[in-house]
Amino acid sequence: MKLASNPFSKYFQLIRLFWSTAISAELEYRMNFIFSALTSLGGLAGSLFGLFLFYGQGYHFQGWSWEEALIVVGIFTFLKGFSTAFLAANLNRIVKHVERGTLDFVLLKPISSQFWLSFHSMSLWGLPDILFGLFIVLYAGIKLKLSWTSYLSGLIPILFGATILYSLWFILGATSVWFTRIYNITEVLKGLMDAGRFPMVAYPVSYQVFFTFIVPVAFLTTVPAEALLGRANPSWIIGSGCLAIALLWFSNQFWRFALRFYTSASS
Amino acid sequence: MYPVAIKEPGLKGTIEHFFKRTYKEIHAVQDVSFEIQPGEIVGFLGANGAGKTTTLKMLTGLIHPSAGSVTVAGHIPFRRESAFLRKITLVMGQKQQLIWDLPAMDSLQINAAVYGLSDRAAQARIDELADMLSLQGKLTQPVRKLSLGERMKAELLAALLHEPQVLFLDEPTLGLDVNAQVAVREFLREYNQRFNATILLTSHYMADITALCDRVLMIHQGKLIYDGSLDGLIEQFAPCREVHVELAYAYHKAKLQQYGDVQSIDGSSVRYLVKPELLTKTVSQLLADLEVVDLAVSDPPIEEIIGRVFQVGQVH
Amino acid sequence: MKRLYKIFQTLLSTYYAYMLEYRAELLLWALSGCLPIILMGVWTQAAQGGAFALTSAQFARYFLAIFLCRQLTVVWVIWEFEREIVEGKLAFRLLQPLDPVWHHVWSHIGERFARLPFIAVIIGLFILLYPSAFWIPDAGTLALFILVSICAFALQFLIQYTFAMFAFWTEKASAIQELWFLFHLFLSGSIAPLEVFPPGVRQVVEFLPFPYILHFPASILTGLPVDYLRSFLIMGSWAGIFYAINRYLWRKGLKQFSGMGA
């Protein structure tokens, strides 16, 4: 296949090539697909059960009805699928590249190394979570009689949330230049992301501070859900946008900085 | 015999493969019979996928032959009795058993314990082998810091700790530089002489085979096609001599092919493989028809002979 | 017997040294098990506003105990086993006169020791965060907790090692484990104590192996009421069932392994 000269369409074509090979590699394991669908379904049932334990006893998170809390669960599931599909495989690869010294090959390619590392792979196994997440949001939305403009206004903060998530993940991946074997660092992020299952008001104040200013989980699920419900404070959405752009910029700077310390492994 | 899934290349093939798999039954080896005496070093030759590794695995008891019988040192390998396992060892050039992030010494201690060696016996054995392998001082460094050659030698040490009588070596010199290859080779020869151990080895490097093995077994597409001395193999194929001609200028390939089996053309330099009975005729024709600057006749390199055996599939 | 003791001692000390090489990874791994701490936040907050079976302080203790139990019962043998089959390393292990499972068992135990300092640090943080909820269980409770934790680890290991046997037949046995893990996550008591489950659900769950890996030892440590006899009986039965399946699959699997070209 010939690559176009226009840089945008070149990158676009590359993504298509990357992903079609990634998909054919994954389809080799057909049992996995069934399992991942089952796993997503089970995970969703578990999330709902976890939420039900609170609401079933007549308790509710301050200011969140059952359906409203469901929207948070839906966005959480969606983002989990997004990170399985687009982030996990790619960024674990950075670690592998550094460890084996194969990052050399990536750095010698005439395209942005951050682009290569971020888009090289995609995993179909994230698809069920993405679909189930959307389904839950839609179900709760219909129950709450949300108009289509509500969904639209929720879309923007979700995009910001996804950008924040990507940037954080990439920054963590970049630290592998110093620490080499840190596959688990993404697991820590995944673990902390679990806090996004519930709206922020469900937590004590100390937790809320932590999840807003230190690990910005609040911007991943709670802010988009509030925007969708049409009651978000505009300053939160603007804050979310600023954070997304700042983190994206920082991830790129940080990657360049990290590369200065890259000493390609000798064997 | 084992089933292998077949996939067409490309995305379409992948999708079809996802829903419907075609399997093909493959016979890895068939009709392979031989006997090896204690203390022999036997080389195992064959192209990739010829069934060398399968045969080694059958001999170590990892694979159960679907038909026929295998006896090694008086045991039936597949039962994997403790007494049998203590007598044999398997080394694979492309696979590691040492723990990567720890010094080799730690892995050696595990092996010593597993094979029930006393601390003193293990230490004496380690010293002896480390001396033979010139690995002194290397065993306390993490394995990942060792060079490829040192790593292979450490692997050998780990595999030989329990004084096995029968050594199965699958490509023990794979990927090593020439010096390290020579070192491993010399060690194996010395080990064989000192402990009267039986060695069965496969290698892609003919130098390993010529240096070590008095006897070779050749496998082609799962069948044993030759069993005998290496010299005998060459003799049976020696009917070929190599004629190397330096010409004044480059001739057309079609023209050059008239005189015999062209092995290679490099500008004005051409190599022929010629049967001895045709040698005089070919040489005189070449000299008569072409403008020859230089001409030499020699035995072809051993790799080429073996390569031809693999192509033809049988020894004449 | 003496030989086995010697082997185990060597395996333990070697794998402990090995795990210490992975200090940074271990710290991150310990941190990634932070879900109970997150849930501790939600539940202590909820207990202040709603009528639940446990008080706010009890929730805090319970989730700290769950955190501890999770750290003590982490098992990853299926991924190791899968890799050994794919990379052909199982072949080497089979050629040694020792059942390959012992390598896994002792590397897990070695890792437990290497992880202890991190666990201590996190418990220290908890005391800073919830000074009022901190408690010191008496020696008898502690001894019982340790015993039950060992049993819980053994059961967890046995279950996962049984699933690992499927690696002989399928390329990705760990998918089974991932599915199982979901049930484990939601039914073992790590997202909420069984006390707040609807009574019907709780009755069913108590016959499954899940709660005995986390909820049972955590309840002992926090001083929640426990039916010892019944718990041990159910735990033992599941261990027996999985042991039988495991050995059966191991024998079948070895045959399959040798047929497939090792």
Contacts of B28 in chain C (CB under 8 A): 261
Q: Residue B136 in contact with residue B130, Cβ under 8 Å?
A: yes
Contacts of C262 in chain B (CB under 8 A): 57, 62-63
Show the low-confidence residues of chain A (pLDDT under 50).
1-3, 266-267
Asked if C92's CB is within 8 angstroms of B28's CB, the reply is: no
Asked if C198's CB is within 8 angstroms of A31's CB, the reply is: no
B-contacting residues in A 30-59 (Cβ below 8 Å): 30
Residue B301, number of CB atoms within 10 A of its CB = 11
Contacts of C259 in chain B (CB under 8 A): 2, 63-64
pLDDT score, position C105: 96
Percent of chain B residues topping a pLDDT of 90: 22
pLDDT score, position B14: 46
pLDDT score, position A125: 84
Task: Tell whether the model's pLDDT for residue B3 goes beyond 50.
Answer: no
Q: Residue B10 in contact with residue B20, Cβ under 8 Å?
A: no
Contacts of B148 in chain A (CB under 8 A): 267
Asked if B101's CB is within 8 angstroms of C95's CB, the reply is: no
Over the stretch B37-82, which tens digit does the pLDDT of each residue have?
A: 889 999 988 877 777 888 888 888 887 777 778 888 888 888 888 8
For residue A248, give how far its alpha carbon lies from the nearest alpha carbon of chain C (Å). Answer: 24
pLDDT score, position B124: 94
Structural element, H or E, at residue C185: helix C174-187
pLDDT score, position B232: 82
Question: Is A120 part of any domain?
Answer: yes
Q: Residue B115 in contact with residue B86, Cβ under 8 Å?
A: yes
Question: Is A265 part of any domain?
Answer: no
Closest CB to C32 among A39, A190, A206: A190
Q: What structural domains does chain B harbor?
A: 1-28 (no CATH), 31-234 (3.40.50.300), 239-298 (3.30.70.980)
Structure tokens given for C191: 């997202």
The amino acid at residue A163 is T
Q: Which of B280, B283, B240, B279 is nearest to B263 (CA)?
A: B240
- Higher model confidence: residue B237 or residue C74? C74
Over the stretch A113-140, which tens digit does the pLDDT of each residue have?
A: 888 888 888 888 888 999 999 999 999 9
Q: How many domains are contained in chain A?
A: 1
Confidence class for position B159, pLDDT limits 50, 70, 90: very high
Average pLDDT for runs of 10 along chain C of length 262: 86 89 81 88 88 88 93 93 86 88 94 89 83 84 95 97 92 84 92 92 95 96 92 96 96 80 48
In angstroms, the CA C40 to CA A141 distance is 29
Radius of gyration from C-alpha coordinates of chain B:
24
β-pairing, B22-26 vs B2-6, is antiparallel
Question: Is A182 part of any domain?
Answer: yes
Question: Is A2 part of any domain?
Answer: no
Q: What are φ and ψ of residue B25, in 5° steps?
A: -80, 135
Q: Where are the alpha helices (DSSP H) in chain B?
A: 10-19, 52-60, 82-87, 104-114, 119-132, 148-160, 178-195, 206-212, 230-237, 253-257, 279-289, 302-312
Asked if C45's CB is within 8 angstroms of A204's CB, the reply is: yes
In angstroms, the CA B157 to CA B159 distance is 5
In angstroms, the CA A51 to CA C52 distance is 14
Question: Is A121 part of any domain?
Answer: yes
| Owning domain of residue A176 | 27-259
Contacts of A55 in chain C (CB under 8 A): none
Task: Tell whether the model's pLDDT for residue B175 goes beyond 50.
Answer: yes
Q: Residue B45 in contact with residue B306, Cβ under 8 Å?
A: yes
For residue B171, give how far its alpha carbon lies from the nearest alpha carbon of chain A (Å). Answer: 20
Which value does ipTM take for this structure?
Answer: 0.84
Task: Tell whether the model's pLDDT for residue B11 goes beyond 50.
Answer: no
Closest CB to B64 among C6, C96, C258: C258
Q: Which contacts of B17-20 are long-range, i.e. CB under 8 A and separated by 24 or more positions?
A: B17/A27, B17/A28, B18/A27, B18/A28, B18/A30, B19/A30
Residue listed under structure tokens 């599939």: B313
Question: Is A161 part of any domain?
Answer: yes
Task: Tell whether the model's pLDDT for residue B244 goes beyond 60.
Answer: yes
Question: Is A126 part of any domain?
Answer: yes
pLDDT score, position B312: 66
pLDDT score, position B63: 78
Question: Is A6 part of any domain?
Answer: no
Q: Residue C59 in contact with residue C47, Cβ under 8 Å?
A: yes
